[in-house]
């Protein structure tokens, strides 16, 4: 081998060595990288691989029920029979939807909605075609499913309100989550998830909603579900127990009948609200399944305002039901006593103005109890004139008027108890003395809700304790609240003198008693259930002098919107007070004729359902200073 060959061999050897070293370095780097990825970083990439292979999905929890005090379901969950369609499995979506329309109700708007959903989603994702189907329709579609390519049947849950309009304002309803309501809770982003929109469904939505569960779904590279690997069900929401008695509530709604109005019944010692009826109601199931435009127009166009909870949102002049407040304020101020008498000629003059009594010929000489019994306006004009509006306002607030009761409902209104300062601040006008007289009979600027009137009556009947209404049981248990007769003592006293209260209560007893009580025709005749009360009628428009003098049209002959509101407040039984009731019939006319019979029947039904009423009631406390002398029968009723 010559020198040239040796040089070539050395060069080739060096290059082969360098190439081998490079390959060795390359394989060493590759091995190191593989070791790093497969050993040192194995956990990280295993997790990433699983995240691509496994899809975590939220499972909506079962919503808690709403129950009455006896465990009757007012809001529950029922099966939701649904029809879904998977676009990639349907050979022709239009044809499949057309075939479905022959089996179930499916209009063009629904078909277009389904098509829009299909366009926005991937082809293998199911889209809801129809839900809340009847079992018959669900079975019919199931029977024809072999001829409906791409159609899937599904059974879920939806909210159900078995008593519909009876509890529509108390329980409320659920609806789809709006964009403004989506917060940090991922549950709210689930398609079709429902949250509370009104009533206790809204106020206690967080308690009723529960906590989400989750499932692990194995998916392929396209995101299509292959199988479920693991499942953890969510935590169901808490059940909510109300103080309401569903039978009393149902009866109150039935008794209101076709009238537009409200009725409230509460325990005067514990504050438990047994009925909170607002009529007419509406079917909350409409909002859950999707209210139609026709249904929405019907609800909004109804002059009786079925969407308004009149028991807590309706604000009305209390009329003569306010006279106990004025009487107590005057007694406390020393402006009147039990023996103070005022002569009623049928009107009262103040400056150039004449303020009329409801009884054209007047009532003659009246003391406080008689003035309550016969609802004499002139007596309370004079009582109000003597003390002024500010003292009336102070007593009103002590009895629960002009302030929200803080009951467990949204949208409660506070009413209005006017004062001199209020008018100056709100209207920039000084208070006029004539306005005080009008306030004295519960008219003018005075406004109250039926719930406030029930609270006022309860505080009068329980001895002057500031009981407050409650709608939700604090202990979350079924059955009656603690039955102690001293339960009201957990509340602060309104600091009313017993002798003053006795006068007001005696007047209310006389209202429902012969011979001259304005509501004697609506009294409860069973002595053990007898009620005491006060009638009221509040004007919605000013009566002209011509109408007053000629009485051209009676109240019932006027257009509905121009008729007086009819009110009645009561407590029962007289011997051992336990329940307070307030009723308003919008534009019902006379409180004695329209509202008192409704309150009588509701209070009687309430007492008949209460086992504690079977025990002999204790005697009424002695010491009343009321004038109990009988008088001749009256020819007509006031209030």
> What residue ranges do the domains of the chain occupy?
3-40, 57-241, 246-298+308-614
CA distance 505 to 500: 9
Residues contacting residue 27 through CB under 8 Å, at least 6 positions apart: none
- Reply yes or no on whether the pLDDT at 477 is more than 80: no
Q: Provide the 10 A C-beta neighbour count for residue 232.
A: 11
CA distance 320 to 317: 9
310: part of which helix (H) or strand (E)? helix 310-313
Instruction: Indicate the DSSP class of residue 447.
Output: B
**489 versus 93: which is more confidently predicted?**
93
292: part of which helix (H) or strand (E)? none
CA distance 396 to 392: 6
Conformational region of residue 533, where left means phi above 0, alpha means psi within -120 to 50, and beta covers everything else:
beta
Class of domain 57-241: alpha beta
Q: Answer yes or no: are the C-beta atoms of 497 and 328 closer than 8 Å.
A: no
Instruction: Indicate the DSSP class of residue 511.
Output: H
Residues contacting residue 120 through CB under 8 Å, at least 6 positions apart: none
Q: Provide the 10 A C-beta neighbour count for residue 70.
A: 14
CA distance 455 to 466: 9
List pLDDT tens digits, range 330-346: 999 999 999 999 999 99
List pLDDT tens digits, range 354-389: 999 989 899 999 999 999 999 999 999 999 999 999
CA distance 579 to 587: 26
582 SS3 class: strand
* 81 — pLDDT class (breaks 50, 70, 90): confident
Q: What is the mean pLDDT of the chain?
A: 83
**To the nearest whole percent, how much of the chain has pLDDT over 70?**
80
**Backbone phi and psi for residue 261, each to the nearest 5 degrees, phi listed first:** 180, -165
pTM score of the predicted model: 0.80
The whole-number average pLDDT for the span 398-407 is 94
Structure tokens at 168: 């529509």
Residue 621 pLDDT = 39
Annotated active-site residue 320? The verdict is yes
CA distance 501 to 526: 25
List pLDDT tens digits, range 188-215: 766 667 888 999 999 999 899 888 776 6
Question: Burial letters for 81-97: b for 16+ Cβ neighbours within 10 Å, e otherwise?
Answer: bbbbbbbeebeebeebb
* 602 — pLDDT class (breaks 50, 70, 90): very high
Residue 29 pLDDT = 76
Choosing from 168, 198, 260, 320, which is the catalytic residue? Answer: 320
List pLDDT tens digits, range 456-469: 999 999 999 999 99
Q: Does domain 246-298+308-614 have CATH number 3.40.710.10?
A: yes
CA distance 539 to 348: 18
CA distance 42 to 36: 8
List pLDDT tens digits, range 23-49: 787 887 787 777 766 666 666 555 445
**Backbone phi and psi for residue 572, each to the nearest 5 degrees, phi listed first:** -160, 160
């Amino acid at each position: 081998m010559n020198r040239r060959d040796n040089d070539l061999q050395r060069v080739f050897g060096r290059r082969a060595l360098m190439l081998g070293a490079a390959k060795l370095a390359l394989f060493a780097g590759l091995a190191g990288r593989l070791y790093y990825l497969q050993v040192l970083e194995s956990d990280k990439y295993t997790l990433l691989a699983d995240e691509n292979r496994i899809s975590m999905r939220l499972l909506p929890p079962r919503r808690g029920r709403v129950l009455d005090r006896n465990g009757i379901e007012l809001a529950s969950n029922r099966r939701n029979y649904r029809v879904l369609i998977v676009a990639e499995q349907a050979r022709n979506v239009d044809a499949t939807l057309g075939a479905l329309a022959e089996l179930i109700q499916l209009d063009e708007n629904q078909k277009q909605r389904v098509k829009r959903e299909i366009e926005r989603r991937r082809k293998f994702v199911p889209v809801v075609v129809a839900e809340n189907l009847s079992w018959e329709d669900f079975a019919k579609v199931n029977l024809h499913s072999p001829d409906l390519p791409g159609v899937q049947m599904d059974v879920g849950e939806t909210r159900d309100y078995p008593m519909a309009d009876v509890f529509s304002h108390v329980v409320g309803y659920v609806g789809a989550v709006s964009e403004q309501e989506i917060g940090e809770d991922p549950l709210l982003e689930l398609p079709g998830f429902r949250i509370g929109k009104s009533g206790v469904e809204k106020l206690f939505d967080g308690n009723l909603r529960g906590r989400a569960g989750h499932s692990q779904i194995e998916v392929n590279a396209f995101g299509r579900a292959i199988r479920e690997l693991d499942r953890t069900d969510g935590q169901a929401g808490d059940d909510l127990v109300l103080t309401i008695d569903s039978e009393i509530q149902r009866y109150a709604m039935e008794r209101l009948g076709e009238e537009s109005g409200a009725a409230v019944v509460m325990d005067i010692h514990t504050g438990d609200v047994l009925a909170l009826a607002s009529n007419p109601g509406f079917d909350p199931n409409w909002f859950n399944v999707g209210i139609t435009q026709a249904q929405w127009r019907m609800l909004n166009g109804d002059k009786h305002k079925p969407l308004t909870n009149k028991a807590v949102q309706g604000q009305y002049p209390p009329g003569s039901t306010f006279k106990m407040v004025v009487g107590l304020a005057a007694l406390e101020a020393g402006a009147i006593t039990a023996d103070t008498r005022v002569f009623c000629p049928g009107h009262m003059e103040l400056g150039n103005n004449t303020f009329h009594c409801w009884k054209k010929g007047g009532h003659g000489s009246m003391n406080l109890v008689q003035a309550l019994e016969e609802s004499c306006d002139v007596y309370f004009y004079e009582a109000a004139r003597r003390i002024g509006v500010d003292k009336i306002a102070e007593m009103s607030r002590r009895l629960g008027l002009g302030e929200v009761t803080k009951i467990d409902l949204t949208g409660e209104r506070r009413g209005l108890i006017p004062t001199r300062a209020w008018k100056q601040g709100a209207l920039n006008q000084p208070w006029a003395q004539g306005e005080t007289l009008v306030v004295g009979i519960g008219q003018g600027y005075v406004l109250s809700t039926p719930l406030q009137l029930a609270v006022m009556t309860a505080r009068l009947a329980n001895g002057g304790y500031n009981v407050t209404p409650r709608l939700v049981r604090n202990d979350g248990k079924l059955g009656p609240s603690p039955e102690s007769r001293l339960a009201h003592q957990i509340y602060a006293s309104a600091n009313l003198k017993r002798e003053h209260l006795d006068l007001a209560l005696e007047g209310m007893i006389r209202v429902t008693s012969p011979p001259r009580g304005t509501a004697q025709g609506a009294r409860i005749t069973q002595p053990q259930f007898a009620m005491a009360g006060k009638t009221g009628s509040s004007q919605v428009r000013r009566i002209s002098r011509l109408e007053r003098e000629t009485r051209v049209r009676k109240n019932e002959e006027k257009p509905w919107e121009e008729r007086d509101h009819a009110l009645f407040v009561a407590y029962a039984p007289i011997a051992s007070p336990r329940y307070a009731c307030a009723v308003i019939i919008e534009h019902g006319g006379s409180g004695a004729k329209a509202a008192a019979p409704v309150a009588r029947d509701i209070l009687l039904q309430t007492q008949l359902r209460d086992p504690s009423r079977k025990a002999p009631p204790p005697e009424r406390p002695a010491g009343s200073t009321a004038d109990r002398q009988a008088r001749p029968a009256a020819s007509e009723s006031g209030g």
